[in-house]
Amino acid sequence: TWKSAKGEVGAAVDYALDAGYLHVDCAMVYGNEKEIGEIFKKKIGTTIKRSDLFVTSKLWNTYHHPDDVAKALKKTLADLHLDYLLTFFLFFFDLYLIHWPLTFERGDNFFPLNQDGSMRYGEAYPLESTWKAMEQCVETGLTRHIGLSNFNSKQVFFFHLSIQILCCCKLKIAHILKTAKIRPAVLQCESHPYFTQEKLVHFCKDNGIVFTAYSPLGSRDRPWAKPTDPSLFDDPLLKDIAKSKSTGVANVRFFFVLIRFQIQRGHIVLPKSTQKTRLKSNLEVWHFELSDEEMRAIGSLNRNWRACLPVIQLPDGTTTSRDAKHPFWPFAEEF
């Protein structure tokens, strides 16, 4: 539901649920959870069971203070009209992610700015303390799973080391320091053929974390797109593979290639659309298959190109990275 405008998102989710989509990926910062909630209210219990639906949302950067985490989740639950409906497993929510490892100034202004127009980061709370508050949301039944989004492997590693054992030979005792009681279930990051994230994906596999691919179609509707950016849509290999298939309408096959590329790698995939015909056709991807050779060829297109690097516009009209100066900026690491 990212980039899905108010006034459009409700109709899209309404249609998507009728068409057979079961996973709705939301976030408070997308500014459209209330409209999605109206659709959940209308459909759950009538056309769809709560237990058949999997809803994800995300903790925004201004709510990392441990005292704010459950409050933010409860606000999302209320907006989505899920605060009175228990899932099959007696939790209100399916999956709640920390949206970014970095913090903005605490408060309800999602994008607080400094006087010079740059982002006001505020205090960078230790990730452990925010994670502990996330764990409490599981313990109190607010959400069944918790996870991360836009974290690099080193930032995730902290959570992966769920129990550290320090042997103190002198005293012949073992101290067990619990850094995290609950491991992240999911890491949601950008992935498509120009940014396959091979190393991060392996890291997740090795650590039992499910990888979710956002922007699998290259996110051409991203707000900071430039005409000079690489375009998956002009890629001859992707076009040739799509052309060579007989399943599906010609121009739709291209999207099948991008979606199947993620599915066949074992990822959860979030292809975004607010258009009914596209929502419907993208779902027909189950009848389509890529051979091992095609998968390898598509994987070799990787050029470590990120489509999703948020920028902000300064008062003088120039743009600057929104987040790169934050001490927890995740993308300076290789993966």
Residue positions annotated with a catalytic role: 30
Answer yes or no: are the C-beta atoms of 312 and 118 closer than 8 Å.
yes
At position 72, the amino acid (one-letter code) is: A
Nearer to ligand A2P among residue 106 and residue 245 (C-beta): 245
Stretch that binds ligand A2P, among 30-38, 39-47, 138-146, 267-275 (CB under 6 A): 267-275
At position 295, the amino acid (one-letter code) is: M
CA distance 21 to 72: 26
Q: Single out the residue of 271, 294, 298, 301 in contact with ligand A2P (rule: CB under 6 A).
A: 271
For residue 169, CA distances in Å to 95, 163, 166, 172, 175 come to 41, 19, 9, 5, 11
Scored b (16 or more CB within 10 A) or e, 199-211 reads: ebbebbeebebbb
Stretch that binds ligand A2P, among 78-86, 91-99, 271-279, 318-326 (CB under 6 A): 271-279
- Beta carbon of residue 288, minimum distance to ligand A2P (angstroms, whole number): 12
Q: Residue 245: CB partners within 8 Å, gap ≥ 6?
A: 253, 256, 288
Nearer to ligand A2P among residue 2 and residue 63 (C-beta): 2
- Cα torsion angle, 139, 141, 144, 145, sign: negative
Stretch that binds ligand A2P, among 102-110, 168-176, 270-278, 326-334 (CB under 6 A): 270-278
Nearer to ligand A2P among residue 30 and residue 255 (C-beta): 255
- Beta carbon of residue 30, minimum distance to ligand A2P (angstroms, whole number): 12
Q: In the window 207-246, what residues touch ligand A2P (CB under 6 A)?
A: 215-221
CA distance 313 to 117: 8
Q: Single out the residue of 153, 274, 294, 329 in contact with ligand A2P (rule: CB under 6 A).
A: 274
Scored b (16 or more CB within 10 A) or e, 306-326 reads: ebbeeeeeeeeeeeebbbeeb
Q: Single out the residue of 230, 278, 310, 321 in contact with ligand A2P (rule: CB under 6 A).
A: 278
Taking residues 14 to 53 in sequence order and writing x for each that binds ligand A2P by CB under 6 A, - otherwise, the string is ----------------------------------------
Residues in touch with ligand A2P (CB under 6 A): 215-221, 252, 255, 271-275, 278, 281-282
